[in-house]
Amino acid sequence: MSDSQLIIKTIAFVKEKLNDAEGGHDWFHIERVFKNAILIAKETECDLTIVQLGALLHDIADSKFHNGDETIGPKTARVFLENENVSEDIITHVVNIIENISYKGGNFERKFSSVELDIVQDADRLDAIGAIGVARAFNYGGFKNRALYNPEIAPVTNMTKEEYKKNNAPTINHFYEKLLLLKDKMNTVKGKEIAAERHHFMETFLAQFYAEWEGLK
């Protein structure tokens, strides 16, 4: 099977698996990350097939929707790739990307490094910021029935991985606890360039939000 045929099969598999997923973690999220990854990869020397597979499979079973189980995603990806007779070195690389891509409160130390992981991680983080990031944040907040904002609940910017996973604060807090921190955590030159513009958009959004909240505009 050619690389292009494998990518087509992977897209079909992911679409089917995420058919009923929450709106911020559905196929369209995967598609956007896939496009972001290809864009970044054009300016980076890398294995494009691994980048594409990592982007397509990175959220195949997000632990947030599986009682916090972080093993389901890597296992699901591995079984799929094995069934497609993908070589073990590619499977291992893709699984390592899935296991090391997540933010997890910003204190998670990656146990694996590669330029392909750098690209896919940047692509995923880009989808968490900017206009799409704002939309996804409030979509997930609504999904979890969280308040939009509560001035009496301050953001916590230095959470452990477990604290981050259990956090149920208002959606606006998420901007300070994660989204506004991502610009300075990008890996690639292209990722940093795109993130800067999206970061500025979020700052503008927050200024408008607070002005409207206080009845000033």
Looking at residue 66, what is its pLDDT? Answer: 53
Looking at residue 103, what is its pLDDT? Answer: 74
Looking at residue 1, what is its pLDDT? Answer: 77
pLDDT tens, 28-52?
A: 999 999 999 999 999 999 999 999 9
Report DSSP state, residue 71. S
pLDDT tens, 201-216?
A: 999 999 999 999 999 9
CA distances from residue 168 to 155, 175, 177 in whole angstroms, order as listed: 11, 13, 12
pTM of the predicted structure, to 2 decimals: 0.90
Q: Which residue has the higher pLDDT, 146 or 68?
A: 146
The per-residue pLDDT of the chain, averaged, comes to 91
Is a pLDDT exceeding 70 seen at residue 63? Answer: no
For residue 13, give both structure tokens: 């598999």
Q: Are 150 and 64 in contact (CB under 8 A)?
A: no
Name the nearest CA neighbour of 47 among 101, 116, 97: 116
